[in-house]
């Protein structure tokens, strides 16, 4: 297919599907049927553009927004994140919030000036005069250090000879003693003179290098000032609208965030582009969804044609502003819990409880109840049990709470020593192409721009190790037991979903797979030593969904 410049980015939707009552909560949602209909059209269009095929195979996020005009007619628009085929503006998709790419524009003109400084610095650092001065200084450092070390050894050997002479039993004449003292004084003075000469020689070499270093330092300072100023100017061009018609620049939006400044690429994700275009054209947003096209990046977890929430690091502050004035779905994760944690075991030292899915282990920043706070209601103030470890809010299963400081310390030490063993059971959304049992070792680190997501990072991540055993498979799903040897955030979820792990997300994993009625991950068994008696104890609570798959023979 060739791209027709006359293509409009507005695409009518001819359907009798009912509209949602409220706009999509972009950070946790299931795509509305209207969005699925629109996304299907976008996907067919993308698949037909041959020139994009290789680039898109490496992966890109796309988004669709269904909106209605003043007469109630539905249409959809589409967007892509960042650049596509070297451009941020293609006729089928909404334009960027701000286009910084024109060669004669302010951004590119000043970017070229910054690049010119880079070329100047590079020219100095590769120039013969600079390299000769640098080599001379390094040679001087190496040579003088070796000379001084060699003379120190000579002093040490001379002292050893004098000490041996004094201990050999032969009488020492006053003249000989004076000679040895003079030798010691002379060698110490000579070392001092050597250091002074070498210091002067080093200073001469540094003086020859200093003009180059000063020029480079000044150029780098100028480059930083120009770069910071240009970045600030760029962010101020992103005047983001909301449903009330209010505008805010990115610098203002991010001023109250922990990072205080917008991250690179802010405003160029799908959701802000789609909403900005809708507001500018007086359209009322109805629903929105984002999907991934192509292969997954190495560090993150993305699946072809799967739907994903908006990123939090860049989009949460922006969308918090842009959604003002819209009636938006509530965060489904903030729904009130309907079940209480089950007390599996209790004595005077500890409690073992079974937490339902969707409940926090401990109280967070919100007013939501947690397993710990609900259990604590049965205890006097100051004597509440304290959780020794945590489960993800979406994970159900066994947790341990300590009732005394001594029990807490003992159980914490067992966790730190990794002597506590745990067994989880999960239902996977597919059939992994992997052996029926094995070990997954993928180091994990938090994604700073997209919390709470975790990503694989072999350089900076913390070790994360999981053993697994496939129990059964049926109807395109897999029942699996998981045995974590480390306790990283989202470890089991990432190890299941990542392409270097099992490549198959857990059913109901809204972060790394598809949403469902719950996350089908359950902490089924735990074994530890009792903090008071030292007796080994094992507790189990079988997952209700275990029966959905028959076991292997």
Distance CA 268, CA 325 (A): 22
Place of tokens 């004449």: 173
Residues 6+ apart with CB under 8 A from 31: 39, 287, 289, 307
**Percent helix, percent strand, percent coil in the chain, to nearest 5:** 35, 20, 40
Dihedral Cα 227, 231, 234, 238, nearest 10 deg: 180
Residues 6+ apart with CB under 8 A from 233: 106, 107
Distance CA 134, CA 84 (A): 44
Distance CA 470, CA 432 (A): 9
Strand, coil or helix: 416: helix
Burial 83-93 (b: 16+ CB within 10 A, else e): ebeeebebebb
199, containing H or E segment: helix 174-236
- Spell out the SS3 assignment of 516-552: CCCCCEEEEEEEEECCCCCCEEEEECCCHHHHHCCCC
Catalytic residue list contains 329? no
Annotated catalytic residue, options 85, 99, 392, 457: 392
Which CA distances in Å does 426 have to 51, 316, 317, 376?
41, 30, 34, 29
Q: How many CA atoms lie within 13 A of 122 on its CB side?
A: 6
Is there a contact between 13 and 34 (Cβ–Cβ < 8 Å)?
yes
Strand, coil or helix: 431: coil
Distance CA 144, CA 80 (A): 60
Extract the tokens encoding 385: 């049990």
123, containing H or E segment: helix 106-126
Strand, coil or helix: 271: helix
Q: What angle do CA 273, 276, 277 make, to 5 degrees?
A: 85
Residues marked as catalytic = 392
């Amino acid at each position: 297919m060739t791209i027709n410049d006359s293509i409009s980015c507005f695409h009518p939707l001819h359907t009798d599907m009912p509209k949602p009552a409220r706009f999509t909560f972009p950070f946790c949602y299931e795509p509305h049927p209207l969005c699925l209909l629109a996304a299907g059209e976008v996907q067919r269009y993308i698949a037909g553009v041959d020139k994009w095929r290789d680039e898109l195979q490496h992966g890109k996020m796309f988004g669709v927004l269904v909106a209605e005009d003043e007469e109630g007619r539905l249409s959809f628009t589409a967007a892509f994140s960042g650049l596509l085929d070297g451009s941020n503006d293609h006729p089928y998709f909404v334009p960027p919030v701000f286009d910084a790419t024109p060669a004669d524009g302010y951004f590119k003109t000043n970017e070229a000036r910054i690049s010119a400084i880079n070329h100047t610095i590079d020219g100095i650092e590769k120039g013969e005069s600079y390299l000769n001065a640098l080599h001379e200084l390094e040679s001087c450092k190496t040579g003088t250090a070796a000379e001084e070390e060699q003379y120190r050894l000579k002093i040490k050997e001379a002292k050893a000879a004098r000490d041996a002479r004094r201990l050999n039993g032969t009488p020492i004449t006053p003249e000989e003693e004076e000679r040895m003292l003079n030798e010691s004084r002379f060698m110490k003075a000579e070392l001092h003179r050597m250091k002074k000469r070498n210091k002067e020689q080093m200073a001469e070499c540094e003086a020859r290098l200093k003009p180059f270093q000063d020029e480079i330092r000044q150029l780098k300072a100028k480059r930083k000032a120009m770069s910071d100023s240009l970045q600030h100017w760029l962010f101020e061009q992103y005047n983001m609208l909301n449903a009330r018609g209010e505008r805010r620049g990115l610098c203002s939006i991010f001023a109250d965030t922990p990072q205080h400044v917008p991250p690179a690429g802010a405003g160029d994700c799908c959701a802000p582009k789609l909403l900005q275009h809708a507001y500018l054209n007086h359209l009322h947003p109805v629903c929105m969804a984002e999907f991934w096209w192509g292969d997954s990046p190495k560090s993150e977890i993305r699946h072809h044609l799967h739907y994903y929430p908006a990123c939090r690091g860049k989009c949460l502050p922006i969308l918090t502003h842009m959604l003002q004035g819209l009636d938006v779905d509530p965060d489904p994760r903030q729904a009130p819990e309907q079940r209480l944690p089950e007390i599996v075991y209790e004595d005077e030292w500890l409690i073992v409880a079974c937490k339902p899915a969707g409940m926090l282990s401990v109280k967070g920043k919100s007013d939501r109840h947690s397993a710990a706070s609900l259990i604590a209601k049965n205890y006097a103030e100051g004597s509440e049990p304290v959780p020794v470890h945590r489960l993800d809010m979406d994970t159900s299963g066994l947790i341990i709470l300590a009732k005394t400081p001594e029990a807490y310390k003992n159980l914490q030490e067992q966790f730190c020593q990794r002597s506590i063993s745990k067994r989880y059971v999960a239902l996977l959304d597919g059939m992994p192409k992997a052996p029926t049992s094995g070990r997954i070792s993928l180091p994990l680190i938090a994604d700073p721009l997209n919390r709470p997501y975790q990503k694989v990072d072999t350089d900076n991540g913390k070790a994360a190790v999981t053993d697994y055993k496939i129990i059964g498979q049926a109807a395109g799903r897999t029942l699996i037991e998981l045995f974590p040897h480390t306790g990283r955030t989202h470890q089991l979820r990432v190890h299941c979903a990542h392409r270097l792990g099992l490549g198959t997300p857990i059913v109901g994993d809204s972060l790394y797979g598809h949403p469902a009625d719950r996350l089908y991950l359950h902490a089924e068994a735990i074994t530890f030593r009792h903090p008071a008696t030292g007796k080994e104890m094992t507790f189990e609570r079988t997952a209700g969904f275990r029966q959905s798959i028959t076991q292997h023979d």
